[in-house]
């Protein structure tokens, strides 16, 4: 369960197939998105030693569903999360799959606190989410969202390309616990 919790922490916050085909923006339909890159997460808790996690992610949000693959910096698969309209599944090599009705509920079940996965789908496209009320919204001179607060998260979006921000940074501080997640998106081909 500890490794399952660690993988959930990795996903938290972030941000979905190694065996699937590679899609380019020319192959995508309206509303679909494929992003890949690196992630890092730092968890600081006054009651435990700091945890630092890093690796690569492959987020594939297509009409048939959302898939997030997480791997270590050397390419070892850590986890896969598959999100369909009827359920979400977390698969960790060597462990039993965990199933929940939604991605947010899946991570709440595994991580024991709310994680805005559904909202991250919008944030990775540089949009505010319909699922979470945002406040303290700041925009750049091109009217792109660059920072806001939502559900106890401070979110910063920057380094935009044609598909959205290529740097997403999220921080949540509750009591004596702080979680910081960064997604750095690879350049589009």
Ordered DSSP codes for 56-110:
EEEEEEETTEEEEEEE-TTS-EEEEEEE-SS-EEEE-TTS--EEESSHHHHHHHH
Task: Enter the tokens of residue 108.
Answer: 């709440």
Nearest to 37 by CA among 132, 178, 161: 161
Strands 134-139 and 98-100: unpaired
In this structure, of 67-71, 106-110, 113-117, 154-158, the range with the lowest mean pLDDT score is 113-117
Q: How far is CA 147 from the centre of its chain?
A: 17
Mean pLDDT across the chain: 81
pTM of the model: 0.78
Cα gap 147→140, rounded to integer Å: 9
User: Within 10 A of 56 (CB to CB), how many other CB atoms are there?
Assistant: 18
Q: What is the pLDDT of residue 75?
A: 86
Give the three-class secondary structure for 159: strand
**Mean pLDDT (whole number) for 30-37:** 81
Q: Check whether 42 has a pLDDT greater than 90.
A: no
120, 28 contact by CB (below 8 A): no
Residue ranges per structural domain of the chain: 2-115+170-185
pLDDT tens string 138-176: 999 999 999 999 988 999 999 999 889 999 999 999 888
Q: What is the pLDDT of residue 127?
A: 93
At 29, is the pLDDT very low, low, confident or very high (cuts 50, 70, 90)? low
Cα gap 89→65, rounded to integer Å: 12
Q: How many helices (H) and strands (E) does the chain have?
A: 3, 11
């Amino acid at each position: 369960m500890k490794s399952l919790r660690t993988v959930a922490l990795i996903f938290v916050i972030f941000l979905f197939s190694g065996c699937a085909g590679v899609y380019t923006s020319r192959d995508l339909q309206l509303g679909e998105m494929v992003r890949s890159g690196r992630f890092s997460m730092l968890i600081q808790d006054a009651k435990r030693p700091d945890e630092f996690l890093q690796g690569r992610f492959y987020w594939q949000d297509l009409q048939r569903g959302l898939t997030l693959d997480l791997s270590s910096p050397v390419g070892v698969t850590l986890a896969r999360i598959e999100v369909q309209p009827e359920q979400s599944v977390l698969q960790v090599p060597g462990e039993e799959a965990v199933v929940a009705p939604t991605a947010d509920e899946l991570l709440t079940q595994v991580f024991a606190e709310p994680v805005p996965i559904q909202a991250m789908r919008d944030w990775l496209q540089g949009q505010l989410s319909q699922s979470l009320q945002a406040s303290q919204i700041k925009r750049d001179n091109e009217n792109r969202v660059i920072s806001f607060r939502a559900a106890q998260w401070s979110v910063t979006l920057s380094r935009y390309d044609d598909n959205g921000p290529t740097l997403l940074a999220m921080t949540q501080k509750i009591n004596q616990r702080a979680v910081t997640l960064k997604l750095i998106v690879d350049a589009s081909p």
